[in-house]
Amino acid sequence: MPGISLPPGTSDIFPEESAEWEFIEKKSSEVFELYGYGELRTPIMEFTELFQRGIGGDTDVVKKEMYTFQDKGGRSLTLRPEGTAGVMRALAGTDVMNGSEKRVYYIGPMFRGERPAAGRKRQFHQIGVENAGTVSPAADAESIAMLMHFLEAVEITGAKLLINTRGSFDDRKPAEELLRNFFSNHIESLCSDCKERIDRNIWRILDCKNPVCSSIIEELPDVTEAFSKESRDYFKQVCSILDVLNVEYEVAPRLVRGLDYYAHTVFELTHTGLGAQNAIAGGGRYEVNIPGMKKSVKGVGFAAGIERLIMVREALKVPERTPEPPEVFIVSLGNDAFMKNMKTADDLRKAGISCIAELETKSMKAQLRAANRNKASFALIRGENELEKGIIVCRNLQTGDQFEFEDFTSLVDIIKQSEN
């Protein structure tokens, strides 16, 4: 049909699809709240400076992918490309800055100007958690364990957990010197982006997907050798707690994640059900710099893409969630019956019973076809005859059995009993 098309990289989510989304969102809330997390809702736009300073001006997200615009007051605003910076901006106004712990989760859309592909949209949706104010290997390990618990709750199996350490920010200088010495010896073979990254942000080279660069990265010596003993011990403690919790993982020495705020633990979950772009979730420990504040906000957390979780469920052939059909379809024959049935529909809904009332004048046959099309369990039929007798007819659309009721309470009881 002709009409206005969707912007590239966006999609409509119809009721027959949204049941999957609702299931995943509901399970996330159930699992996260078991660990003491509460939902935080932040605006979908923030001042641009928050992302430039908070996640790193040299990251691909800030340099290439953000949707940034000026409002009528001349202020630079950006649609959030990720959730952590905005959450930390919100929590910076709480007692987190004094060392108190705050556990929050969020669900919502993010925006990046990427080339649209399977599982990669310009408006995409994430579920994320942040444990702010606490710095400890135990908090990192618990966050990872909670992510695995969540995956189990949404019936995703076969995911691979990769973990690594970025070391502390104090470790960056000696580690970057090691990286620079290594990559300088291969500079002629690096792609043009990585040649620039040697001076601008050498850690980004480790994220490069260019086949030649990837082969060079495989030869990189162990960067953790440049880290302090305290940083290496921190990571060992994270791994030890994961072992106690029976969380299976693989140490991935090249894993750095794509944002500059990470320090110490980083992790990523991949799944073969996604093909080449196989990450379904990721996160780590971070220190976010908030504009106007001298101290950074410290925490640990992760985010999972809802679109990607749904794709993995499809690949695993997990039974798809579908919308619950209405329990009752109300058939009206004549105007007087229609007016009475509008009140009956209202009473049923207030009693917790879902129903659809036919709102147009149609034959009984057409209305019953609509009841079957909507997959209703019962049809309530009322016409002039039923009005005269003071009854309503209830037909079980699965069995064909039909009953007459005078008492609304008895009708409600029969319908509710059928749910069990």
The domain ranges of the chain are: 15-168+227-315, 328-419
Write the pLDDT tens digit of every residue in 163-191: 999 999 898 889 888 888 899 888 888 89
Q: What is the DSSP letter of 104?
A: E
Which amino acid, 72? K
Write the pLDDT tens digit of every residue in 97-152: 888 899 999 999 999 997 766 667 899 999 999 999 888 999 999 999 999 999 99
On whether the 15-168+227-315 domain is CATH 3.30.930.10, my answer is: yes
Write the pLDDT tens digit of every residue in 195-220: 888 888 888 888 788 889 989 988 88
Write the pLDDT tens digit of every residue in 343-392: 999 999 999 999 999 999 899 999 999 999 999 999 999 999 999 999 99
CA angle 206, 210, 211 (to 5 degrees): 105
Residues 160, 279: Cα–Cα separation, whole Å? 9
Q: Is the pLDDT of residue 59 over 80?
A: no
Regarding beta strands 250-251 and 355-357, do their DSSP bridges make them parallel or antiparallel, or are they unpaired?
A: unpaired
- The pair of three-digit structure tokens given for residue 12, joined into one six-digit string: 């409509």
Q: Is 264 helix (H, G, I), strand (E, B) or coil?
A: strand
pLDDT for the residue 117: 67
On whether the 328-419 domain is CATH 3.20.20.80, my answer is: no
CA angle 123, 128, 129 (to 5 degrees): 160
Residues 322, 314: Cα–Cα separation, whole Å? 13
**pLDDT band at 261; cut points 50, 70, 90:** confident
Helix (H) or strand (E) holding 172: helix 172-184
Q: Is 197 helix (H, G, I), strand (E, B) or coil?
A: helix
pTM for this structure?
A: 0.88
Regarding beta strands 378-382 and 392-396, do their DSSP bridges make them parallel or antiparallel, or are they unpaired?
A: antiparallel
